[in-house]
Structure 1
Amino acid sequence: MARIVVFGAGGKAGRAIVAEAAGRGHEVVAVVRDTARYADLAGCGVAVVAGDVTDRSQVAALVEGAGAVVNAVAPDAGDDPRTFFTAAANALVDAVAATGRGRLVAIGLAAYLDVAPGVRIMDTPGFPAQFQDFARAHAAALDVLREAPATVEWSVVVPATEFDPQGGRTGTYRAGGTGLLTDADGVSRISYRDFAVAVLDEAEQGAHPRTHFAVAY
């Protein structure tokens, strides 16, 4: 089993990813800003450590020897999303590139999935104006990955527009491309626990190298 480092382990997606990775028998390093707030994450195969994903030296030390690195971070109230997401992506790319091994898997945002060729959800007239800055900041982090050295094996797993915190783990999902993925009724939904299944599958198998892809039921 691999050593998997999860940044942003205290969030909803991060917690689900940590649980899924531990359940598969991986050695998990759950990185959070304040270990006292997330001590409950620690358990069989899971070590909780403090770290700032925007601090390049800290990130480099934490990913050393990792088989996979997962970026599930989100900005705190005091962070500026316009700089936070790109700073985190740059620190992670540099660290993974320096190790020469391991896979980088990031959590994406449905807002930059396409609803038509070349038209992202965030580019449509109905997209809420109050979320534009956040969406553009998230998309900028994807651009950082696209410019990463060819030696960095990265992928971005993008959740459905309905991200269900109450849904259980069925162990099933569909993986698409860069377009919005919906079911027969036009609904785009995935539970956090099944999204974590998709993330761990990608961390283990790397089936979508150097691109982003949608997952949904």
Structure 2
Amino acid sequence: MKIAVLGANGKSGGFIVDELIHQGYEPTAVVRNKDTYQGNAKHILVKDVFNLTQNDILDYDVVINALGFFTEATLKNHLESTKHLISILEGLDTRLMVVGGAGSLFVDNDETIRLMDTPDFPSDYKPLAVAMYEAFDYLKTVTDVNWTYLSPSAFFDFEGDRLGHYRLGGNQLLVNDAGESRISYADYAIAMVDEIKNQKYKGQRFTVGE
């Protein structure tokens, strides 16, 4: 299976590349600057997401979007890059896997209140959560591309251990017995790679928790 990881130089992208390698794949890291790539992928494609063409991804079975846009000027690129990827994936069998956000997960059983709209949600993260939600909201309208969106738990732990197991959920925030919503980057990466193999959530969003 040929897999390309966009944003392979980022935190989530790096963990996903390493997990793919750990499970025997040879992923292609798609980066804007080869000189700054510090990861372990043997295959590298140097290209900005907005310059990617259908020919660039024609031979890939899976494209993983792990891109991050965090500044006020670039937040709009969550939606714009998603639209661009959909435009070049149309007509292909290539699957799009998206590293999503937790802010759009619901915190109630009736699924009326999203995490990002709760009083305790950090105001500094609200613009990012909204931008990621807008991209996800658009993705939900797409029917002619095979996509899957994976949201982490509320606390996405970069330094967390690779436990090797996790819990799966749908649109609602997962909380453990201690009342915490968390997942390590390492275990999130395992869930992403497992879904590539299991193909359980086609055209859907799911979430993962510790």
Q: Please indicate the TM-score interval, normalised by the length of the shorter structure.
A: over 0.9
Aligned partner letter, 2:141: E
Partner Cα distance (1:76, 1:140) in 2 = 14
Q: Partner residue of 1:168?
A: 161
Give the direction of change, closer, same or farther, for the CA distance of 1:49–1:133 in structure 2 (3 Å limit).
same
- AA aligned to 2:139 is L
The alpha-carbon deviation at position 171 of structure 1 amounts to 1.8
User: In the alignment, what sits opposite 1:41?
Assistant: 39
- The 1:85–1:215 alpha-carbon spacing in structure 2 relative to 1, beyond 3 Å, is same
Residue pairs, 1:74-93, within 5 angstroms: 74-75=68-69, 77=71, 79-81=73-75, 83-93=76-86
Match of 2:129 in 1: 135
Stretches (4+) displaced over 4 A: 76-79
Could you tell me whether the CA contact under 8 Å between 1:114 and 1:178 is conserved in 2? Answer: yes
Matches of 2:159 and 2:188, distance apart in 1: 12
Q: Percent identity?
A: 33
Matched, 1:200 2:193: yes
Give yes or no for the alignment of 1:120 onto 2:118.
Answer: no
1:179 corresponds to which residue? Answer: 172
Query: Unaligned 5+ residue runs, structure 1?
Result: none
Matches within 5 A, 1:84-103: 84-98=77-91, 100-103=92-95
Is the CA contact 2:100–2:150 (under 8 Å) kept in the aligned structure 1? Answer: yes
d(CA) in 2 for partners of 1:68, 1:108:
16
TM-score between the two structures when normalised by the length of structure 2: 0.92
TM-score by length of 1: 0.89
Residues 23-59 of structure 1, C-alpha deviation per residue, up to 9 Å, x if partnerless?
2222311111111001x3244xx3122121233xx24
Q: Which residue number corresponds to residue 50 of structure 1?
A: 46
CA RMSD after TM alignment? 1.7
Q: Mark the runs of 5 or more structure 2 residues left unpaired by the alignment.
A: none
Aligned partners of 2:148, 2:46: CA distance in 1, in Å? Answer: 25
Give yes or no for contact 2:17–2:40 (8 Å, CA) kept in 1.
no
Secondary structure of 2:163's counterpart equals coil
Answer 1 or 2: which has greater helix percent: 1
CA contact (8 A) 1:32 1:51 kept: yes
Distance 1:151 1:77 in 2: 31
Structure 2 vs 1, CA of residues 134 and 77 (structure 1 numbering), >3 Å: closer, same or farther?
Answer: closer
